């Protein structure tokens, strides 16, 4: 897709973070943008802000874990703009804890429902519309660097690995059948977002958290993580620009932090050589990463 003016984009998780960065980038490129998010107040603020900047936007409160709400997002998009050319399945959360066996069943249910099934619902609802349109279209699924290396809380890593695999499969199937829609998978590392505060949106039905958000140690850990993202994280708008460029170039993998590619290479090398997963990066890899870090 080379031309973006007057094309229609749909972004989930659009009220903040990477989703807002993508939405603002698309609007700046002349696209009409449908904003989907579960946070009503943040969604309204983002809508006001983008309209004040001259963007043509439409907001739809959407819980992506609910297929009927994703269906409604599509209906409202078609009712408002008549087509959809870009879909960003971006909404995502993170749950506390690090090990899969210590995470509660509701931790798993909530994060799988949002991070994985939210993408599934988006594909099942919007892709048939794009195929029927028989015109240029693109789906972007947000995974994570944690979808390429097993680093981070186990439920989060599991869902992001699944998103990468799902995206690769859909890409191959579309190519095999000669259909026009294209697919990309976004694998960001550190980005300045509020994902560490995901519990603010935790539904009552999934209240049995393995690490309650009121736990003092958990609160302190969240504050440290948020400070690190604020200090070292890429801006969401910069990620949005990378996404727009990838859509223009029809590039599948979007790695926001290429300086971390050696970590991915190490994992691939271990797979191909039958080496067990590394508990910590090798001294040689750490030396290489340190040399790549900006001074």
CA distances to 127, 201, 265, 276 from 271, in Å = 33, 37, 10, 8
Largest interatomic CA distance in the chain: 57
| Locus of tokens 């599948």 | 252
Q: Which residues are catalytic?
A: 156
Q: Residue 137: is it exposed, middle or buried by C-beta count within 10 angstroms (0-12/13-18/19+)? A: buried
Chain mean position to CA 56: 23
pLDDT tens by residue, 246-259: 999 999 999 999 99
| Locus of tokens 């049995």 | 208
pLDDT band at 195 (very low <50, low <70, confident <90, very high): confident
CA distances to 65, 85, 126, 204, 234 from 61, in Å = 12, 20, 17, 18, 27
CB-based contacts of 178, cutoff 8 Å, min separation 6: none
User: pTM for this one?
Assistant: 0.91
pLDDT tens by residue, 45-91: 999 999 999 999 999 999 999 999 999 999 999 999 999 999 999 99
pLDDT tens by residue, 86-142: 999 999 999 876 678 888 999 999 999 999 999 999 999 999 999 999 999 999 999
Do 112 and 169 contact (CB within 8 A), yes or no?
no
Kindly state the average pLDDT of the residues 194-212: 82
Kindly list the structural domains of the chain, giving each domain's residue range(s) and its CATH number in brackets, ordered by start.
8-256 (3.40.50.720), 258-295 (no CATH)
pLDDT tens by residue, 261-279: 999 999 999 999 999 998 7
pLDDT tens by residue, 284-294: 656 555 554 44
Closest CA to 13 of 187, 157, 170, 198: 198
User: 242: alpha, beta or left, given left = phi > 0 and alpha = psi -120 to 50?
Assistant: alpha
């Amino acid at each position: 897709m080379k031309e973006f003016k007057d094309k229609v984009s749909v972004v989930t998780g659009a009220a903040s973070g990477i989703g807002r960065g993508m939405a603002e980038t698309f609007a700046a490129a002349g696209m009409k943008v449908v904003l989907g998010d579960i946070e009503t107040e943040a969604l309204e603020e983002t809508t006001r802000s983008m309209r004040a900047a001259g963007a043509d936007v439409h907001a739809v409160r959407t819980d992506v874990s609910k297929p009927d709400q994703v269906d409604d997002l599509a209906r409202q998009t078609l009712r408002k703009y008549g087509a959809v050319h870009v879909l960003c399945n971006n909404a995502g959360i993170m749950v506390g804890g690090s090990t899969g066996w210590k995470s509660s069943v509701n931790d798993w249910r909530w994060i799988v429902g949002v991070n994985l099934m939210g993408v599934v619902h988006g594909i099942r609802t919007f892709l048939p519309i794009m195929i029927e349109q028989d015109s240029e279209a693109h789906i972007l699924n947000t995974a994570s660097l944690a979808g390429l290396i097993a680093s981070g809380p186990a439920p989060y890593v599991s869902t992001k690995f699944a998103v990468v695999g799902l995206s690769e499969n859909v890409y191959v199937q579309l190519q095999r059948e000669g259909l026009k829609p294209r697919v990309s998978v976004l694998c960001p590392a550190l980005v300045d977002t509020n994902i560490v505060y995901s519990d603010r949106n935790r539904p009552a039905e999934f209240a049995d958290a393995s690490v309650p958000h009121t736990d003092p140690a958990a609160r302190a850990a969240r504050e440290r993580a948020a400070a690190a993202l604020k200090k070292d994280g890429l801006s969401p708008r910069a990620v949005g620009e990378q996404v727009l460029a990838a859509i223009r170039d029809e590039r599948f993998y979007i790695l926001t932090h290429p300086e971390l590619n050696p970590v991915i290479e190490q994992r691939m090398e271990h797979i191909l050589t039958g080496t067990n997963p590394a508990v910590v990066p090798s001294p040689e890899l750490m030396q290489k990463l340190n040399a790549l870090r900006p001074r």
